[in-house]
Every structure is written in C-alpha cells, then in structure tokens.
Structure 1
Amino acid sequence: MKLPSNDDFAFLLLTLSLCLAASFLLSVLWPTSSRKERKGLPPGPLYIPVLTPIFWLRRSLFDIEPILRRFRVEYGPVFTIRLTKRPAIFIADRGLAHDALVHSGATFADRPSDNQASRLINSNQHNISSATYGPFWRLLRRNLTSGIMHPSRVRLFGNSRRWVLDILFSRLRSRAEADGGVVVVMESFQYAMFCLLVLMCFGEKLDEKAIEDIEAVHRSLSASVVKSNVFSFFPKITKIVFRKLWKNIVAIRRRQEELFIPLIRARRKSNNQQQQQEDGSSVYSYVDSLLAVRLDEDNGRELTEAEMVSLCSEFLTGGTDTTATALQWIMAHLVREQHVQQKLFDEIKAAVGGAPGEEISEEDVQRMPYLKAVILEGLRRHPPGHFVVPHTVSKDVTLNGHLIPKGAMVNFTVAEMGWDEKVWVSPMEFRPERFMAGGEGEDVDITGSREIKMMPFGVGRRICPGLGIAMLHLQYFVANLVREFEWKPVEGEEVDLSEKEELTIMMKYPLRARITPRMATN
C-alpha cells in the first residue's frame, strides 16, 4: 500500500517523529508489561516504536512477501512482526497451519478488530468475513450456505449462467472483431461475473447501466479498502492526515447505499417467494434470504439496511473478483501452454462433442477430470489471495512451543504452502497432470480437513463458504470458453505471468490473446 502523496507522508513522518524520543523513553522506563507480553512469542525482527509502523505502513502484504520468505529462513516457520501493540504472527508451515486451523479450529476462528474505515464499510464487523466468531457469525454463514449456496439453490441458477455466458461470448466476439481477433479478457470476465452475482444477490436482471453503476462503486470501494490499512496505525493522527482518503471512503459508502437500498426495498415490497421461480427474470436471491434473518440474541430483530448493504457488498466481492482473477490466470496458462489447452479440448470433445454453440452444463463438467485438474492447478499456482483474512485467537495458546497470545493477529502464507517443494514437483510449473491419477495432487483435499497441501479458499471454520460455487463457475466458464474459441498468443508477444496486488493478486499485464471460433477450425 502506498501513501496518498509524498507531502502527506512527510507530514506524518514529521508528526510522529516528535513522539519518537518519548516512545523510546517510555519503553525504557516502563518495559515490564511489554517484555512480559513478548516472553514466549515466536521470534522476529526488532520492534522500534513509531519507526517500525512507518516502515510497514508503506507496504502491502504482497510487497513484503520476499521479506517474509527471508524471515521464514531466519526465524523458522512461525515468527512475529510487531506493527502496533498487538503482535502479528505469521505461520509459514502447512503442518502448523493444520494444527492451528483444524485441530485448534475454534481457538483460531476469531477475527481481529478492524480499523474505523473497515468498520464503516462492514457495518461494524457485521458481515461474514469480519464478524467475531460466535452466534451472529454462525447465523450469517448458515444463512449463506443453506439459503443461496446450497447445491439445490445453485442448480436453480442454471438459466442465469447461460444468460451470462451469452453476454460473455458476445463481448468477446465484439472485441475480437474490433481488433483483428485480439481480446483483452479481464474486463469482459469481470463484467460477466458481476452480471451473474448481481442477479444472484438481488434476484433481478438489471439493465447494463445499473450493473455498470454498481460495478463502478464496487471498484472504487475495493481500491479504498486497500488504502484504508493506513488507519490501523495511530488512528487519531492518520484520520486527520489522510482526511481526504477518509472523506472519499465515506462518500463511496454513501453512494453504495444509494444504489443498494432501493433494490433491497423493492425486493422487500415484492417478496412473495411462491412467485419467485427461475423464469429467467426473477429468482430467489441472497437479499430474500437476508430479509428473513432474525437475530435471536438481539431480541429477534431484523438486519438493518446498512448491514444488508455490507453483506451484499461482501457477496459481490467474494463472487466476482476472486473468480474473474482465477479465470484470467487459468486462461493465461491455456494460451501459454497450448498442449494443455489441446488436451482439455480433446476431453471436452470426448465428453460432449466439439461443436460450439451449445452450452456445456453443470452436469457435463462433472464428467471432465482433466478440466478439474486444470482448475485446481490454476488455484494452486495462482491463489487469488496470497494470505487469508487475518485470524486471531480467543485465548492464549501454544503452537510449536511458542505463545500465541489472546488477541494476536495470525496470518497464514497461502501461496507459499501451495508452492512447497516438499509436496509439489517443480511447483512453479503449470502441470494439471499432477492432479490426475499417479500425480502428487491426486488425492488433494482443498478443504484441508485431512492435511494442507494447498489452501486457496482458506481452511477450517473460516473456510470460504463459496468454495463449491467458485469451483463450479470456474469449471463451467473455462470449459465453455475452450469449446467456443481457440485461444492463441498474440503474434510477437509472450504471456507475462508477473503479478500485482489489487483486492486480489492479478496479472500485472492483463491477458491479451487471439481467439478464433472453433467452428472455423474444427
């Protein structure tokens, strides 16, 4: 994360530097409590009051990955970085991650307190990803998994997936015709996923302008979330120094409410579930399920409109950014490794025929093991997030002989676990065959319940509740894209796999490919 401007940073540095001498003096004169807190913690680099937070303030988790790898070698598989008074523990070993998230799952299932900006966005941590582990979180998660993510519900969106697939094909063809067969795919992937998730969320096929408005505020909010980490450090000061950023976040949230609340109210007004069948225009939606939620521990009250806005925002984020990002990475490898694309197309032809135009259905993809292997390899090699949302522990606990104190922020190095050379042969290569019979990933369990070999969706009680639908959407769209078009590199260009961080880990240089309708060549 970069600061908004050099002037802002200089001002912050000057302001905080005035406190530096006092901070050192206090740490020398009254060291007892801090030293007791440090006793037994995993090892880590020296913490210098004020200066250490400033050092990390200018960096995102993506930026510090090389530093974390060095710390892993220097300090071992569990180490501590002190950013504030609360230590941040990093676990960089898949066995220890399994001990924490599975064997001690309840203890590690809580979330740390958010900064003020994040609390504004998530309604004071009243969404699934940030809520404290307890009855409220269980209710929200159960509502999502049974109300909208249950396989019986997912099947009802079959016509919706077909509708979105047609939108995606139309956009790709239009862009290819305009640029001699060349497409830049990410924008089309994002828009298609957004169309699908907006329909699943609000139950209506909105017009293009409405979807673009929702997508625009979503993108603005996502960008602000990355920058909002600055408010975790010296909040009283940073809220003043970065007042423009704060005002911008407030304005974006207000705009989001202006767009979402009328849709929620319209759904409430016409909420007759007997008439909400899958007819192509109105379906049972996530909002429908939220309208029925009652908080027993809070006198049976309904969710507030602000809480529903936060939950809808979370739903769209979880289903669009991660899926579109993974889809682009997978298609990039199919363009780069033509033999993998051909092998996948051969499987598709054997299963459903090679003629384009007809949809490959949800039932069809279940008969394609190599397709699933391609998806798993894409998620292993390019997990959408290199770290899960931070956990915290509800009580003091010992892990690998070290104290993990109550309230400590705990991070897990997701990407590194999927690239472990002790598990994966040539882990940085893209080889779907490793997930086929005889490969090292043949029996991999991506839920991590037995052991952790990769954890793109997290592991344990906080595992992503959308795992099943994410896998379905990736298999569905990859299979249909490969049968409809032949994907080749643009002449004179190589597919660059460099990464950059936004809300997810994306391609630094968006994929450009030459597509040809299969009917012209097969």
Structure 2
Amino acid sequence: MNNLAILAVAGVLLLPLLVFLRDVTSRRRRRLPPGPPAVPLFGNLLWLRHSAADVEPLLLKLFDKYGPVVTLRIGWRLSIFVADRHLAHAALVGAGAKLAERPRTATSMLLGVSENIITRSNYGAMWRLLRRNLVSHMLQPSRVDQFAPARVWARRVLMGKLRETSGGGGGDAPNVTEAFQHAVFCLLVLMCFGERLDEPAHLFRGRLDAWHALLRRQKELFVPLIEARREYKKLASQGLPPARETTFQHSYVDTLLDVKIPEEGNRSLTDGEIVTLCSEFPNAGTDTTSTGLQWIMAELVKNPAVQEKLYAEIKATCGGDGELLERSVRDKDNKMPYLNAVVMEGLRKHPPSHTLLPHKAAEDMDVGGFLIPKGATVNFMVAEIGRDEREWEKPMEFIPERFLAGGDGEGVDVTGSREIRMMPFGAGRRICAGLNVGVMHLEYFVGSMVMEFEWKEVAGDEVEFAEKLEFTTAMAKPLRPRLVPRRS
C-alpha cells in the first residue's frame, strides 16, 4: 500500500475521532445544567442515600441549591429537570420539534410492547397520523356533541355510586375515589367502543412478571369489542340496524378501523395495534380525571363558602337539570365562569401529574444558556410552575376568583402557546390532545356533584392535602366526606 493510500485510510479512521473530540470540546464550552456530584456508570452519589422513586422532594432541594434547571444521572442515563416557566416555554414551544421525541420506556425495551400510541410514540409520520385521527374524529366540537348522551349516562352512574356508598346521605363517610374512577372509566370506555359496559373490567397496572398476562387479558377484553364494531359498521353500510340497542353510532374504534398508513403501503392497523390504542384511550383519561375530581372536591369540602358560591351559580344557570348542565359546560359562551374558575384553580394547585411525560432531545439544543445534549431526557415540573410564588399570589391557597376578571390568573393561556404559567396538559408539539374535553368532563362532573349534594367535612375524617405518588399524584389520605342530598 503506497503512502497516499495509507494517509487516506488513516484519515477515514481518524475522522470519527476528530468529530467526537470536536463535539466534546463544544459541549464543554456549553456546559450542562448543574447538578450534584456523579461518578461514571453509577450516576449521582446522592442515590446512595435517596430513592429515585421519591425524587420530587429531592428535586425541590436541588432547585434551591442549583437553580431552576438541574441535571441528574441514574447510571448512564442523563435526565434534566426544568422548573422555570420561561425556560419551559423556550424549550417546549420555542424549540418545537427539537424536543418532541419520547424516550423509550422500560416496558417496551423489556417486553417488546409497541409504542405506537399517541402519548408514547416517536415524533414522526405515525404519531401525526394517529393524533390527527383522534383530533379530527373524536375531539372536534361536532363529535364531542355526539357524546352528550354518554356524558348524561355517566352522570347517572356517578350519582348512583355516590348515593350507594354514602348510604343515601347517611352518617358514614364514604371513600368517593372509587366512584370517581368508575364513572370516568365507564364514560371513556363507551366513547372508545360505543358500548355501555355497566361493570367495566379495570386494567390494573401490575409488576413486571404480570405484564404478559395483562397484555393477553387486554386482547381477550378488547378484540371481541373491536369485532363487534366491525360488524356494526358492516350492518350500517347495508342500512341495517345495530345488533344491540345500547350501541352508539360513533366510537373511537370506528375511526381506527378506517385508518390507513401511507408509509406502509396504505395498510390498515392490525388488531394488536388497535388493542394498544384502545387501552391508551381510557387509561390516559381515567386516572388523571378522577384524581383531578378528588382534589377539587376536597377543596370544596374544605372551603364551604366556595362550594356555596358555586352551587348558587349552578342553580341560577341550570336549576336542577343535569342535561342543561351538560349543555352549559360545552357552551362556548361560558355561562358558568365560576365553575370554570374552580376547575382551573384545582388544576393549578393540584395538577394530577406533577411532571409531564418525559421528552427527549432530538439534537443538541440550548435552554437558558445550558446545553441539552442529543438523547437526554428532559422533564418539566408542572406543580412547581403552577405554584410559583413569584407568579401567583398566595399560590398554596385555593382561590378560584384569581381566574375571574381582575385576578392574577385572568385570561391565563392553559395551552402555553403565548406563555406558560400553568401547564397541567403540557405545551408545545406534545400537548395533550384532549385538553378541552378533559376540562369539560371535570366541569360537568364537579357541577353535577355540587348540584346533587352538599359536600361536608366529617369529624375524624378531616381533609388532608398530603400527596402520594401513584400513576398520578393522589391524596395520601382518601377523601371521605359526608354527602347531604340537596333535594329528596
């Protein structure tokens, strides 16, 4: 081999090294956000004294010490946490697609579970197709209006559960959490499959060794329902009535059966993919909505003057008519501003998720003068932003009036497009598609429960606002109020 060839080979071999060294030097000039000491492979030394499962209290101390952007390392994984609203807006909205990816989950890596769902899929053609299908065929106003009978039915389910658990308004204080979860799950299952399931089979999250059985159980539950919708669509195309009178004319499954994937030969979704997407639909909304209901109703129990002001608005607007209430909460003229303010204040002070689902940097990027390297996981502190005393007056008090005229939350942009002051539904490219429907469901169920019952605190079961982390951030001590029917 002549000298020229040797030089050429050496250049090819050295080029990647030179590029790597250039990137390392560049990254050192643009330093990572600060954080506690770490060692290679193990990560931060603080994990010797703290559990990663209880990271939020630890982060609050780290923000006080290092500022609003902190780097943590668990093994080889680099995670960055952002607690400043301006930096969150710059990253989620300003940076656009650079931070629209999702890191892979342990479930997908260990079990090979498909991540072709809207909340978890990579930012690309499949994600855009699935999200566009959901928004266009389920969440646009005309479709939302179609599900009014479903909401009225779910209201009856909830009221029945509350009367049952409270003994018809008797002395024992019920744990109302299960009633909230049951009613919300019933509604979302109906919207998903177009069928009223009186006792839906809840899909509980298990340990790792139970996941395979859980996935098999999902298919056993969902495939017959999917086949039923195929048959319904076939009958409808022939002008024939549905096989059951409980069948709704539209459902999420119907839209999924019509999806075609242009990038893959215009194929349809497989049953497995539809099962995964169907499990996402109720799972994504049940815990977040029922947790939100629990916190809001706990605040109304603790703040009876707020509850009575809300009841007065509901009574003046709707009387005792639950169907009129349903129409009012989806009325764009906002006939019940105080009900909306109560829900917004609940979401600000008690966001069901204290952090957004993790984002992943698609390329090196700058946030607040710090380097966010490609592949890093970036987390945003929802609760800290919504409780920031620099932005909100008395942030740890429940004051719905702040969202009315003249309040410090008047006109707040909950989408985060203009600015971020609270973001219970996220912001940017991966903002929750169901934001408007989620708020409407909260308003409808809160309004219904205040319309039907006076919610009172019980001696010995006083409301406590301590938190515990489950799938969402729930009440450590479940809400146990006394429910007094407002009418016989």
Give the TM-score taking structure 1 as reference length: 0.83
Q: Deviations over 1:38-97 (max 9, x none)?
A: 732112112224543796598456x21121122212222222111233311111110010
Question: 1:397-408 maps to which residues of 2 (within 5 A)?
Answer: 397-408=365-376
Q: 1:504 to 1:364 in 2, by over 3 A?
A: closer
Asked if residue 362 in structure 1 is aligned to residue 327 in structure 2, the reply is yes
1:349 matched residue in structure 2: 315
Asked if residue 194 in structure 1 is aligned to residue 185 in structure 2, the reply is yes
Out of 101, 105, 117, the position equivalent to 2:96 is 105
Alignment-mate amino acid for residue 147 of structure 2:
F
Q: Deviations over 1:232-282 (max 9, x none)?
A: xxxxxxxxxxxxx43311111111111111211221232245678997532
Asked if residue 92 in structure 1 is aligned to residue 92 in structure 2, the reply is no
In 2, the alpha carbon distance for the partners of 1:358 and 1:399 equals: 48
1:41 matched residue in structure 2: 32
1:148 matched residue in structure 2: 138
| 2:256–2:274 contact (8 Å) kept in structure 1 | yes
Percent of aligned pairs sharing the same letter: 50
| 2:188–2:286 contact (8 Å) kept in structure 1 | yes
In 2, the alpha carbon distance for the partners of 1:263 and 1:172 equals: 29
**Shift of residue 360 of structure 1?**
1.7
1:390 matched residue in structure 2: 358
In 1, the alpha carbon distance for the partners of 2:270 and 2:405 equals: 50
| 2:328–2:335 contact (8 Å) kept in structure 1 | yes
1:252 matched residue in structure 2: 214
Asked if residue 371 in structure 1 is aligned to residue 323 in structure 2, the reply is no
In 2, the alpha carbon distance for the partners of 1:253 and 1:55 equals: 36
In 2, the alpha carbon distance for the partners of 1:297 and 1:318 equals: 27
| 1:168–1:192 contact (8 Å) kept in structure 2 | yes
- Say what the alpha-carbon RMSD is for the aligned residues: 2.5
- The total of aligned residue pairs comes to 458
**Shift of residue 307 of structure 1?**
1.3
In 1, the alpha carbon distance for the partners of 2:190 and 2:407 equals: 39
* Unmatched 5+ stretches in structure 1: 1-30, 225-244
Q: 1:47 to 1:34 in 2, by over 3 A?
A: farther
Give the TM-score taking structure 2 as reference length: 0.88
**Shift of residue 351 of structure 1?**
1.4
**Shift of residue 501 of structure 1?**
1.0
Alignment-mate amino acid for residue 389 of structure 2:
E
Alignment-mate amino acid for residue 175 of structure 1:
T
In 2, the alpha carbon distance for the partners of 1:149 and 1:122 equals: 30
| 2:39–2:45 contact (8 Å) kept in structure 1 | no
Pick the structure with greater CA Rg.
2
**Shift of residue 180 of structure 1?**
2.6
Out of 306, 330, 334, the position equivalent to 2:300 is 334
Q: 1:493 to 1:356 in 2, by over 3 A?
A: farther
Q: Deviations over 1:148-193 (max 9, x none)?
A: 1111111111111111111111111122227635322110010001
**Shift of residue 424 of structure 1?**
0.4
Q: Deviations over 1:80-125 (max 9, x none)?
A: 111233311111110010001111111111111222x245788431
* Unmatched 5+ stretches in structure 2: 1-19
Asked if residue 487 in structure 1 is aligned to residue 455 in structure 2, the reply is yes
In 1, the alpha carbon distance for the partners of 2:295 and 2:52 equals: 21
Alignment-mate amino acid for residue 128 of structure 1:
I
Out of 211, 226, 249, the position equivalent to 1:283 is 249
**Shift of residue 290 of structure 1?**
0.6
Q: 1:346 to 1:82 in 2, by over 3 A?
A: same
In 2, the alpha carbon distance for the partners of 1:364 and 1:380 equals: 19
Q: 1:246 to 1:426 in 2, by over 3 A?
A: same
Q: 1:308 to 1:33 in 2, by over 3 A?
A: farther
Alignment-mate amino acid for residue 165 of structure 1:
R
Q: Deviations over 1:195-215 (max 9, x none)?
A: 10110011111242xx1x2x1
1:127 matched residue in structure 2: 117
1:20 matched residue in structure 2: none
Secondary structure in 2 matching 1:457: coil
1:262 matched residue in structure 2: 224
**Shift of residue 493 of structure 1?**
3.1
Alignment-mate amino acid for residue 180 of structure 1:
G
